[in-house]
Structure 1
Amino acid sequence: MADSEHSSSNENSVDSQEESSKESELEFSEEEETLVIRMYNLVGERWSLIAGRIPGRTAEEIEKYWNSRYSTSE
């Protein structure tokens, strides 16, 4: 059991290294995406408030992510 926990933490550290190297792609987990959508519906484009609810994310990252995924060019 301890071995599987150890390997799991190794995988997590590798994942976090990959995420930091892919910042330009702005990959968000499903949970983060759901939270961003819910918060946007509550507070609008107040990116700093939304970022305050997602550890490790900045307002700029969230705004870029939102604009790349949900922005409408009307």
Structure 2
Amino acid sequence: MSDDNSQEVSSTEWGFITMTGQEEDLIYRMYRLVGDRWDLIAGRIPGSNADEIERFWIMKHSQVFAEKINQVKNSE
């Protein structure tokens, strides 16, 4: 069975997603409460959708992860 929606998209192909500080805070708080239920989180942020919130989360955490790796490498 072939499903076009199952295709993975590289984060390098995603446009940058900006959120206000208040929206970011809400995403983090909601994530702690409901986990990766992006549809529930997006429902709390007007004009957003689940895919956008998930991409924001992935991009934000990938950047943090990359910075931590660089710090470890530079301290060696």
Normalised to the residue count of structure 1, the TM-score between the two structures is 0.63
Q: Which of 48, 60, 66 is residue 51 of structure 2 equivalent to?
A: 60
Q: Which of 16, 26, 33 is equivalent to 2:24?
A: 33
Residue segments in structure 2 that go unaligned for 5+ positions in a row:
1-13, 67-76
Structure 1, residues 8-57: CA drift from partner, whole Å, max 9, x if none? Answer: xxxxxxxxxxxxxxx82101110000000000000000000000000001
CA RMSD, aligned part only? 1.9
Given candidates 42, 51, 62, the residue that maps to 2:33 is 42
- Indicate the percent of aligned positions where both proteins have the same amino acid: 49
In structure 1, distance between residues paired with 2:20 and 2:48 = 12
| Residue correspondences, number | 51
Letter in 1 for 2:38: W
The reply on whether 1:51 has 2:42 as its aligned counterpart is yes
Please list every run of at least 4 consecutive aligned residues from structure 1 whose deviation after the TM superposition is greater than 3 angstroms: none
